[in-house]
Structure 1
């Protein structure tokens, strides 16, 4: 009886670890600092907000383009953006930007950075415009 309980517990822990391990890339935060994001944009990188249109309309960084993360690859292809052109992504927390970053990299875009969440980026980008 005790051995069965132990096996079930170990099985549950192993299954949970496996499932959570697959989810970790989708939960990724930014891979560049807000200051680095500002510097990249100042040097010509395209700034893309991957949140919904409603979120974008509630507030966004001046100069950012809105392309929802689910359709970003198609939208950039429509705009004929070079695959080597630097792109800086952000969303609310960095999760959707991470998903968009992975999709873009799989599509061949080579200079894509996840700047994380809008909340962390507002102040550095506002300071840039002063």
Structure 2
């Protein structure tokens, strides 16, 4: 993949996975309450507040996973445990999918620039 195309597609895929994919997940797995589930999953983006602790706040070449506190492996383990409780399940799905989205973003240079 050309570097130019890489830098165009990467943010499109990233933000589509953050905003559109949770809607599809909500519709498939939480059909009776899909709108509330989608909004709840979008609300889990608040975990990105931990980026404010970093300098610089935004670094397109930095991998969030394992770097920011709410993107740590310990936090991800807590998000996984939340799956087992019905009252926190939608939040857990949103947080875990957010972590997956950020993880795949870290893989782009490996997958497409080598």
TM-score range, shorter chain: 0.3 to 0.5
TM-score (norm 2): 0.32
**Greater fraction of residues in strand:** 1
Larger Rg: 1
TM-score (norm 1): 0.30
**Greater fraction of residues in helix:** 2
